[in-house]
Amino acid sequence: MSDVQYDQFLSDIYDDAPYFGQARAREPELFNQFYFEHLGDKTRRVLEFGSGTGMLTVPLARAGFLVDSVDISPSMQKVLAGKLRAEDASVAKRVRQITADALTYVGEEPYDSILMPEGLVIALPDRTLQLALFESCHRNLRKGGRIYADFVQPRYKVVYEQTLQEHTRFRTRDGDNYLLSVTFRNDRHSQVEEWDAVFAKQGTAGVAERIAVTVSFRFLFHSEIQFMLERCGFKVVDIDVNHARGLGFAVIAEKV
């Protein structure tokens, strides 16, 4: 499967797939509440790094925020564009889609706020890359500007057992049925966790198609995040350890 096809498949199925975007897509208010509680002035444009399929982007635009939506994946941006076309024109025009790498992105002028939802930081499976992302945030913020980010917690059963395999079934909004098998592998030393996911599409005569996807994450605990942010020129303002009913935690950090 080519990289383009791989990226397009994962983008198209992301909101429906367990372990990926399904939980957030089903309860967007639960995961987005943190951002709406803390973001203030809607008249200023905010920068969203790793906007993905737009599960925070679209609600922000509906609420009146102006959003620069930066994502490296053209396929994710395509899914977001489709969602925006389904919105009122006044909502869609508040979003400026930018296909770019968050690590090297430089905005036209400094922002007051940078948002990083859905575990963007942990999707960079290397500490050097995670630091580079925080450095990019520092570069793109005015002094006193803030980062708002939420982080998914690791599944401790995987951390404990090191290797774990699980199976589940799900149905997409288009009516396709899939059997999803995931093998989790965790390295306690590097804090990197790999998921080998096989999506088996169910046809009338059995399995019609099988697509294998491998993704890697480097999970972080809030003590390390605080250290990394301070190293990159931030002070931590708040850490919400009960974010999304304890499914993750959220951080606010200010550029000093």
- What pTM value is reported for the model? 0.93
- Summarize pLDDT for 125-146 with one digit per residue, the tens: 999 999 999 999 999 999 999 9
- Summarize pLDDT for 55-103 with one digit per residue, the tens: 999 999 999 999 999 999 999 999 999 999 999 999 999 999 999 999 9
Amino acid at 168: T
More confident residue, 121 or 4: 121
d(CA 249, CA 239): 7
Give the SS3 label for residue 88.
coil
Cα 132 to Cα 14, 136, 138, 179, 248: the distances in Å are: 26, 6, 10, 37, 22
Q: Which residues of 5-44 are buried (b: 16+ CB within 10 A; e: fewer)?
A: eebbbbbbbbbbbebbbbebbeeeeebbebbeeebeeeee
Position 98 scores a pLDDT of 98
d(CA 169, CA 183): 15
User: What share of residues in the chain are helix, strand, coil (percent, to 5)?
Assistant: 35, 35, 30
* Tokens describing residue 22: 């399904």
d(CA 165, CA 197): 10
Q: What is the DSSP string of 50-74?
A: S-TT-TTHHHHHHTT-EEEEEES-H
User: Which of the four pLDDT bands, split at 50, 70 and 90, describes residue 6?
Assistant: low
Strand partners, 183: 165, 196
Domain boundaries, the chain: 3-154+219-255, 156-216
Q: Is 137 exposed, middle or buried (0-12, 13-18, 19+ CB in 10 A)?
A: buried
Position 7 scores a pLDDT of 86
Position 246 scores a pLDDT of 87
May I ask the CATH class of domain 3-154+219-255? alpha beta
